[in-house]
């Protein structure tokens, strides 16, 4: 079976690493994992892991104390080799972590640990698909610099919106804005020296 891509899993609990790895592998992903305490203590070479496996999505668990563990998460993904990764966060208190991630464009989704594990698989699949779209679209010019959406939380799913829907709406809006700019430019030239408006 062809892999849907590589997922890097960071978790503090060994049993959770085994369970989530099996879950994602059964869904078609290749999973590489590391213990968060090993990362914190320098026993895991994160840069080597990223270079060797080039995961498209990183699943990272954040537990209490949330502010302290969020700060460690930010240090991890500040590494240059993390710059293009998309992140799916698992948390016991998803609401608290969503508050910390409110303006973070690289956090694709925060999944509550108490939710169905299928929710996690769905989030990883969407994050992996979204990253592929971003890479494909990177070469296309963006005149107005409008970024693609990088994050969705549970509310987006309840409203029926997917990252692809949001991207399509933004692209349509960008095309409308560019068309209006072109029309405005043509109207401006109509009143130049060669087109007198004198009554």
Find the mean pLDDT for residues 85-96.
Answer: 90
* Confidence check: pLDDT of 88 > 80: yes
* Residue 94, pLDDT score: 87
* Confidence check: pLDDT of 135 > 50: no
Question: In the β-sheet with 107-112, what is the strand arrangement from edge to edge?
Answer: 30-35, 6-11, 57-61, 86-91, 107-112
* Residue 143, pLDDT score: 46
Q: For the chain, what's the residue count?
A: 199
* Confidence check: pLDDT of 186 > 50: yes
Higher pLDDT, 185 or 73: 73
Find the mean pLDDT for residues 68-84.
Answer: 89
The mean pLDDT of the chain is 77
Half-sphere exposure of 7 (CA within 13 A, CB side): 32
Which region holds residue 112: left if phi is over 0, alpha if psi is between -120 and 50, else beta? beta
* Residue 163, pLDDT score: 56
* Residue 112, pLDDT score: 82
Tokens describing residue 128:
């992996």
Q: What's the CA gap between 105 and 137, in Å, rounded?
A: 17
**Residues 29, 22, 88, 162: is their CA dihedral positive or negative?**
positive
Say which range, 70-79, 109-118, 143-152, 184-193, has the weakest mean pLDDT. 143-152
User: Residue 70: which H helix or E strand, with range?
Assistant: helix 66-77
* Residue 166, pLDDT score: 61
* Residue 124, pLDDT score: 94
Q: What confidence category does residue 27 fall into, taking pLDDT thresholds of 50, 70 and 90? A: very high
Q: What's the CA gap between 73 and 67, in Å, rounded?
A: 10
> Is 6-162 a CATH 3.40.50.2300 domain?
yes
Higher pLDDT, 48 or 148: 48
Higher pLDDT, 12 or 118: 12
What are the structural domain ranges in the chain?
6-162
* Residue 146, pLDDT score: 44
């Amino acid at each position: 079976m062809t892999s849907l891509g590589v997922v890097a899993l960071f978790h503090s609990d060994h049993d959770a690493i085994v369970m989530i790895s099996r879950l994602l592998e059964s869904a078609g992903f290749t999973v590489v994992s590391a213990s968060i305490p090993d990362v914190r203590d320098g026993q895991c070479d994160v840069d080597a892991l990223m270079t060797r496996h080039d995961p498209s999505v990183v699943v990272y668990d954040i537990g209490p104390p949330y502010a302290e563990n969020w700060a460690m998460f930010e240090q991890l993904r500040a590494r240059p080799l993390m710059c293009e990764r998309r992140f799916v966060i698992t948390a016991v208190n998803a609401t608290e972590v969503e508050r910390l991630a409110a303006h973070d464009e690289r956090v694709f989704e925060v999944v509550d640990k108490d939710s169905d594990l299928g929710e996690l698989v769905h989030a990883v699949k969407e994050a992996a698909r979204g990253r592929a779209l971003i890479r494909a679209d990177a070469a296309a010019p963006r005149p107005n610099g409008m970024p693609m959406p990088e994050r969705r939380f549970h509310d987006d799913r309840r409203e029926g919106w997917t990252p692809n829907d949001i991207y399509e709406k933004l692209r349509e809006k960008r095309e409308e804005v560019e068309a209006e700019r072109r029309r405005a430019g043509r109207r401006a030239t109509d009143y130049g020296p060669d087109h007198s408006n004198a009554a």
